[in-house]
Structure 1
Amino acid sequence: MLITRASEYALLSLIVLAKAEKPLDADTLSKELDISKSFLAKILQSMARNGILNSFKGANGGFALAKDMHDITVRDITCAAEGKNPSVFDCSKSQKDCPSDKATTCQIWPVVNRLQDKIDTFLEKLTLADLIEQ
Structure 2
Amino acid sequence: MLLTKASEYALLSLIIIAKKNSPQDVETLSTELAISKSFLAKILQALAKNGILKSFKGTKGGFLLAKDAEHLTLKDIIEAAEKRPTKVFECSTPESQCPSGKDEFCKILPVLTKLQKKIDHFLDDLTLKDIIES
Question: For the superposition of Structure 1 and Structure 2, which TM-score range results when normalised by the shorter chain?
Answer: over 0.9
1:23 aligned partner, one-letter code? P
Could you say what secondary structure the match of 1:89 adopts?
coil
Contact 2:48 2:55 (8 Å CA) reproduced: yes
Structure-2 change in CA distance of 1:42 and 1:94 (3 Å):
farther
CA displacement 1:52-107 (0-9 Å, x = unmatched): 00000000000000000000000010010011111111112334263x34268522
Contact 1:18 1:69 (8 Å CA) reproduced: yes
Which residue of 2 is the match for residue 11 of structure 1?
11
Quote the Cα distance in structure 2 between the aligned partners of 1:40 and 1:70: 23
How does the TM-score come out when normalised to structure 2?
0.92
2:112 aligned partner, one-letter code? V
Quote the Cα distance in structure 1 between the aligned partners of 2:56 and 2:103: 47
How does the TM-score come out when normalised to structure 1?
0.92
Structure-2 change in CA distance of 1:57 and 1:103 (3 Å):
farther
What are the ranges of 5 or more consecutive residues in structure 2 without an aligned counterpart?
none
Q: What is the number of equivalent residue pairs in this alignment? A: 133
**Seq. identity, %:** 59
Superposition RMSD on alpha carbons, in Å?
A: 1.6
More deviation, 44-53/88-97:
88-97
Which residue of 1 is the match for residue 57 of structure 2?
57
Greater than 6 Å deviation, 4+ residue runs: none
Deviation at 1:32, TM superposition (A): 0.6
What are the ranges of 5 or more consecutive residues in structure 1 without an aligned counterpart?
none
